[in-house]
A and B are shown apart, each in its own frame.
Chain A
């Protein structure tokens, strides 16, 4: 069965520290990859997405992610976090047109707490 793994469940960082959140998926075919963020009390918001092309994608709020096909990974990075980045981060994968439904498979999420 397809799965998405996020290895860091809770991360605590000080402001200005660098962030890397891991995401690995198990599906071997063509995939589309996403990172969503959920701020406390708010809905899931898209940070960035990868469909094809340059494997290094830049998103909103200074986030970027790199797709490494050989490692089945799509890790999220930010060079310098801010207190306002405190949130839960979800990696998601879909199989695009192959699935017919474009449903997402989510990772377990990573709770990030940034200390001021």
Chain B
């Protein structure tokens, strides 16, 4: 069964550094998402991406965040200057459309020191 993959599984960075989280969605899917889960809290929507552009973003997704689908297979989330409060598990998801569901990757745990 096809699955969404994410790398790295764990990223540790210093505050103020840039990080790029990578995702490979399922190949025939059209919608792509990033969610995050701060430890002990619920999974929160960050951004959705469709037709090579952002279709919706949450209040969390400020100017420090950006997404790209550079080569038609990878889907990346960049945080330009990480803050302590960016420490969380980041999940990528993809969705084919119609009466289907989103498929989630295993997550990247980001730790900002």
Interface residues of A (CB under 8 A from B): 34, 36, 42-46, 49, 51, 90, 92, 99-109
Contact = CB atoms under 8 A, between A and B. Distances in A.
Interface of B: 4, 31, 33, 35, 41-45, 48, 50, 55-56, 91, 93, 95, 97, 99, 101-107
Contacts of A36: 104
A14 to B, nearest CB: 26
B35 A42 contact: no
Q: Is the interface of A mostly helix, strand, loop or mixed?
A: loop
30 contacts: A36-B104, A42-B106, A43-B4, A43-B91, A43-B105, A43-B106, A43-B107, A44-B104, A46-B101, A46-B103, A49-B101, A51-B99, A90-B43, A92-B43, A100-B56, A101-B31, A101-B55, A102-B48, A102-B97, A103-B48, A104-B33, A104-B35, A104-B43, A104-B45, A106-B35, A106-B42, A106-B43, A107-B42, A108-B42, A109-B43
A49 B35 CA distance: 19
A103 B45 contact: yes
B32 to A, nearest CB: 10
